[in-house]
Amino acid sequence: MKYAFFIGCQIPARVPHYESSTRAVLEKLDLELVDERQFNCCGYPMRDSDPKAFLLSSVRNLALAERLDLPMLIMCKCCFGSLKKAESLMNEDGKLQDEIREKLGEEGLAYEGKTRINHLLSVLYHDIGLETLRSRVSRPYKDLKIAVHYGCHILRPSSITQFDDPVAPTIFDKLVEITGAKSVDWDRKLECCGSHAMGIKDDLALSLTVKKLDSGMEGGADYLCTGCPYCQIQFDNVQEMILSGNGERKSIGSIIYPQLLGLSMDIEPGILGINMNRIDINDIRSYLSEA
Amino acid sequence: MFFRISLYVSLIVFIFGLIFKVSQWFIRPVGISAEGFTSWGRFCAFVRGVIGVFFSARLFTLVKAFILDVILQWRILKEDWLRWVMHMLIYCGFMLLVLMHALGEIITASVFSYYYSTLNPFFFLRDLFGLMVILGIGIAVFRRYILKIPRFRSNKMDLYGVLLIALIIISGIVLEGMKITSYSDFTRMVEDYSFLEEEEDLTALESVWVKEFGLVSPNVSGPFDRDTVERGMENHEMNCMGCHSSPKWAFTGYVSAKIIGPVALFLDVAGVPGVLYYIHILACFIGLALIPFTKMFHIISTPISLLANSVMDKETSLPENIATRQVMELDACVHCGTCSRFCSAIMGYEAKDNPYILPSEKMVLLKDLSKGKKLGKEVLRAVQEGVYLCTNCDRCTVVCPAGINLKDLWMNVREGIIQEGEPEPLMLSPLSLARGLNREALPADEYLLPLDRARKALAGSFDLLNEPEKIISLPDGGSDYSPGPEIVDNTYSYCFECRNCTNVCPVVDNYENPQEVLGLLPHQIMRCLGLGLYQMASGPNMLWECVTCYQCQEHCPQQVKVADILYDLKNTAVRNMMDNS
């Protein structure tokens, strides 16, 4: 299996361990990733201000993947949501759509809508499958409780993202549970991490993040688990900011899914970037059973 | 005399230019990070920094960077092999010409005792080096002006650089060709260096030079009989060959000699070789004098940038040195366009047609800004949008062949510009994430101020809402304002005000009195649109606090695309604000 690997902007700059752990896990699963250096921003941060900049950014990536004739593999849920949104917009006819096609044509690119847009989690779940994954888990966790954080832009709007049931999703929980960990029930499982407001209205962003973290801890989780750089930054970097302003607060670590899976597949913690998390997650290794 | 005077003048201009430019690194500020430092303080910090590097393990890093990045230019090769070939051809060819040809009598002669500019291997090498530069220039022109690389822009500076080098080399080659053909040069050299006196010997030598070595003579022309050629060859071997290799070895000059052959006699009589000599020498000296003031300054500043960045980082380096480095980096940029080639925000540039979104073009403008040049309001507006429409992916910094730490530069410059400039709507988007994560670097009030200004500039008026007793009068024609092309979705008309959207909204839930903070709640916005109150709908703070979680849209029983509509309204508000400002 071969995919065009879409890394996005936040991961290389702020969450490089998401990329290294993803590469390590997928290599072990014999999945080939093709790097396309011409990929640009997915358009997500431009959607608030300029529809053309958003759509052009987004569709150019789809056209590049189409030129490679490969399905896309995306780690970021906001990138995923944006590309899916762009795909659905391009199915409609309009002046903006014509302009986009023309602009891409200037670079010799064409968009026909053939690209399959996948998030890492859907590739693991649908293309590789739970059975295969389970067979690769050599050191299942024991007694580890994980609060699965779905992330907004992969679930909603479900008519466009078509990832899972938007009200009672199970895919991410199942992926966590094949590692031996238990996915706990928690109140704010499907809520926003607060990232979109970070840098715009920090009080709001921090408040939403705190509610998430508290809810995870109340649910009895040992760790949160994410599959999106924005959410991870919020639970890791921003939680660190919150903790530095409040010494009394209890912390909860946040692990990125390929890190969680990778450890249970007995991949070196160094390769998975376990030490690159701001909030120390090394203790999670104590839940691993012996190989 | 002419030679010496022009050499000294250009050397003086070069040295003073160099001192001026380098001193600016310690004087000029860039962005906000240089605030509060004196030039003397910056200079002292620089000395401390240099000493610190030389007496630590970082010296090895420095040496490694010198070999890999400065000498071998590994960072260029990594990104673009053609550009590396181009740069290596120009840089090696030119440097070798300077050492072996321009400074031949000083440098080469002291290393090789048998040095003679007209003898091989020097005679041949000079042309080889010249050819290398010409090939390099050819590739440069091909890349910049013929190959259509998207978003690769060239400005006047790039053109001047190419033209000046081309002028130096081409004038040199043509001059050499003229000297090969020149009858007056030939007779002068025969008089100076040969022992021949008999007329027949002289004619025989002349014949051989015409036949074999490209000389154009007014006296003799082929075909020559065998005896004359043999005698001439003998004379050549006895008198010339010891100090002068065959001009054919100077292959570029020889080719040009063949080309100008038909008019060579006329040019020689008219004294054109002399004029060309002055052009060549002047071009070299002007080139030397202009180094500090043109793109060519990069032969000094770029190695310094590569070395400085190999041993500096934001966390451990003195802030004074970061400030100094950032001014120096503006000089180290050669406008090669690698950053713009890999920039994540390039489609923002394509959509908005604002060149300052491209990092390479921002650099050009930052140079002007740091020189204190006053920019027009429109340019400033474009620059502000350019520095903010950046996803902070840091790719430009990773790929920059000059090792410039662009991400730190943007962060620093951006802050200076948005504090002073017009309200910036882009601030109310996820583009602000990096700034938010860095907020501790800024005083709290400065951090919040430009955000508040943007919010204020985008806010609409809600008088109608504040006076509940007043009946809302609908505007004529059903709407108070043209919605513009941005409002593409009209599903709001299905809204029956069940308020599900507002009830599931985490932002509304976050506030005790949400309407006070948010202006209008999601269901009220949908209702506004239903009533045709577009202007009112595109004004509430709700739009800019929306976290785009799509709970509203997912839970709407009427399938109103609530979150998408909020996006549309934001776009409308931004467009209107920009149109009005």
Positive or negative: CA dihedral A125, A126, A130, A136: negative
**pLDDT for B220:** 84
8 A C-beta contact, residue B450 and residue B419: yes
- Within-domain flag for B78: no
Residues of A in contact with B440 (CB under 8 A): 241
Mutation site, A37, A44, A48, A80, interface B, largest B CB count within 10 A: A48
**pLDDT for B286:** 94
Q: Residue B213, CB half-sphere, CA atoms under 13 Å: how many?
A: 25
How many angstroms away from the CA of A248 is the closest CA of chain B?
Answer: 20
Question: Residues 6 or more apart from B110 whose CB is under 8 A from it?
Answer: none
**Cis before residue B121, ω within 30 degrees of 0?**
yes
Residues of A in contact with B428 (CB under 8 A): 48, 200
Which residues constitute the domain of residue B244?
180-282
Residues of B in contact with A45 (CB under 8 A): 391, 429-431, 433
Same-domain status, B260 and B352 = no
As given in the structure block, the two tokens for residue B292 are: 């500090």
As given in the structure block, the two tokens for residue B107 are: 């440098």
- Within-domain flag for B359: yes
In one-letter notation, the amino acid at residue B345 is A
8 A C-beta contact, residue A242 and residue A249: yes
Q: What is the pLDDT of residues B36-58, one digit of tens each?
A: 899 999 999 999 999 999 999 99
Tell me how far CA of residue A62 lies from CA of A37, A103, B284, B512, in angstroms.
13, 14, 51, 43
Domain boundaries, chain A: 2-119, 139-287
- Which residue carries 């400085």 as its tokens? B308
Q: What is the pLDDT of residues A225-257, one digit of tens each?
A: 999 999 999 999 999 999 999 989 999 999 999
- Within-domain flag for B492: yes
B431 to chain A: closest CA residue? A45
* Terminal Cα distance for chain A, rounded: 28
For the CA atoms of B475, B480, B482, B483, the dihedral, rounded to the nearest 10 degrees, stands at -120
Same-domain status, B359 and B389 = yes
Q: What is the pLDDT of residues B172-221, one digit of tens each?
A: 999 999 999 999 999 999 999 888 888 888 999 999 999 999 999 998 88
Degrees to nearest 5, angle at CA B215 with B209 and B218: 105
Nearest to B322 by CA among B66, B62, B75, B37: B37
As given in the structure block, the two tokens for residue B259 are: 């080309």
User: A25 in helix, strand or coil?
Assistant: helix
Residues of A in contact with B568 (CB under 8 A): 51
A107 to chain B: closest CA residue? B150
**pLDDT for B477:** 53
A44 touches chain B (CB under 8 A): yes
Check residue A250 and report its DSSP letter: -
Tell me how far CA of residue A73 lies from CA of A22, A79, A121, A210, in angstroms.
11, 11, 9, 30
pLDDT higher than threshold 90 for residue B31 = no
Tell me how far CA of residue A117 lies from CA of A136, A190, B419, in angstroms.
25, 22, 40
Same-domain status, B361 and B452 = yes
Question: Residues 6 or more apart from A13 whose CB is under 8 A from it?
Answer: B392, B393, B394, B407, B434
Cα distance between residue A42 and residue A25, in whole Å: 24
- Within-domain flag for B292: no
**pLDDT for B21:** 96
Cα distance between residue A35 and residue A155, in whole Å: 26
Q: What is the pLDDT along chain A (291 residues), one digit of tens a residue?
A: 999 999 999 999 999 999 999 999 999 999 999 999 999 999 999 999 999 999 999 999 999 999 999 999 999 999 999 999 999 999 999 999 999 999 999 999 999 999 999 999 999 999 999 999 999 999 999 999 999 999 999 999 999 999 999 999 999 999 999 999 999 999 999 999 999 999 999 999 999 999 999 999 999 999 999 999 999 999 999 999 999 999 899 999 999 999 999 999 999 999 999 999 999 999 999 999 997
Check residue B203 and report its DSSP letter: H
Q: Residue B359, CB half-sphere, CA atoms under 13 Å: how many?
A: 32
Cα distance between residue B567 and residue A51, in whole Å: 9
Same-domain status, B442 and B383 = yes
CB neighbours (10 Å) of residue A275?
Answer: 11
Pick from B393, B507, B574: which is nearest to A13 by CB?
Answer: B393
pLDDT higher than threshold 60 for residue B486 = no
A241 touches chain B (CB under 8 A): yes
Nearest to A70 by CA among A6, A153, A122, A18: A6
Cα distance between residue A205 and residue A202, in whole Å: 5
As given in the structure block, the two tokens for residue A168 are: 């009672």
Residues of B in contact with A78 (CB under 8 A): 430
Q: Residue B256, CB half-sphere, CA atoms under 13 Å: how many?
A: 19
Give every strand in the sheet of A72-74, ordered side by side. Answer: A32-35, A2-6, A72-74, A117-119
Q: What is the pLDDT of residues B525-541, one digit of tens each?
A: 999 898 888 888 989 99
**pLDDT for B36:** 82
**pLDDT for B502:** 98
Q: A46–B389: do the CB atoms touch at under 8 Å?
A: yes
Q: Which string of DSSP letters, residue by residue, matches B52-99?
A: HHHTSTHHHHHHHHIIIIIIS-HHHHHH-HHHHHHHHHHHHHHHHHII
Cα distance between residue A139 and residue A93, in whole Å: 52
Q: What is the pLDDT of residues B58-84, one digit of tens each?
A: 999 999 999 999 999 999 999 999 999
A56 touches chain B (CB under 8 A): yes
Question: Residues 6 or more apart from B567 whose CB is under 8 A from it?
Answer: A47, A48, A51, B548
Degrees to nearest 5, angle at CA B360 with B358 and B365: 95
Nearest to B462 by CA among B567, B533, B530: B533
Total domain count, chain B: 3
Last residue of a domain, one of B412, B428, B457: B457
**pLDDT for A2:** 97
The mean pLDDT value of chain B amounts to 91
Q: List residues bridging with A117 in a β-sheet.
A: A72
A185 touches chain B (CB under 8 A): no
**Cis before residue A157, ω within 30 degrees of 0?**
yes
Q: A48–B570: do the CB atoms touch at under 8 Å?
A: yes
**pLDDT for B464:** 64
pLDDT higher than threshold 80 for residue B447 = yes
- Which residue carries 């929980």 as its tokens? A173
Q: Give the helix ranges, DSSP H, for B444-521.
A: 444-458, 463-466, 500-504, 506-510, 514-518
Same-domain status, B505 and B425 = no
pLDDT higher than threshold 80 for residue B481 = no
Pick the CATH number of A139-287 from 3.40.80.10, 3.40.50.11810, 3.40.640.10, 1.20.120.330: 3.40.50.11810
Cα distance between residue A8 and residue A14, in whole Å: 11
pLDDT higher than threshold 90 for residue B472 = no
What percentage of chain B has pLDDT greater than the value 70?
96
**pLDDT for B465:** 65
Nearest to B544 by CA among A82, A213, A80, A205: A205
As given in the structure block, the two tokens for residue B286 are: 């002007």
A156 touches chain B (CB under 8 A): yes
- Rg of chain A in Å (alpha carbons): 19
Cα distance between residue B195 and residue B192, in whole Å: 9
Q: Are strands A182-183 and A32-35 parallel, antiparallel or unpaired?
A: unpaired
Same-domain status, B340 and B247 = no
**pLDDT for B195:** 86
- Within-domain flag for B143: no
Same-domain status, B343 and B433 = yes
Q: Residue B97, CB half-sphere, CA atoms under 13 Å: how many?
A: 21
Residue B441, burial from CB neighbour count under 10 angstroms (0-12, 13-18, 19+): middle
pLDDT higher than threshold 80 for residue B118 = yes
Q: B433–A230: do the CB atoms touch at under 8 Å?
A: yes
Cα distance between residue A224 and residue A203, in whole Å: 22
Q: Give the helix ranges, DSSP H, for B393-442.
A: 395-399, 406-420, 433-437
**pLDDT for B463:** 65
Residues of B in contact with A238 (CB under 8 A): 437
Residues of A in contact with B553 (CB under 8 A): 156-157
How many angstroms away from the CA of B466 is the closest CA of chain A?
Answer: 24
pTM of the complete model: 0.92
Average pLDDT over residues B470-496: 68
Cα distance between residue A210 and residue A204, in whole Å: 10
Same-domain status, B346 and B404 = yes
Cα distance between residue B233 and residue B226, in whole Å: 10
- The CATH number covering residue B479 comes to 1.10.1060.10
Q: Check if CATH label 1.20.1050.140 holds for domain A2-119.
A: yes
- Within-domain flag for B64: no
The pLDDT-based confidence of B475 (bands split at 50, 70, 90) is low
User: A169 in helix, strand or coil?
Assistant: coil
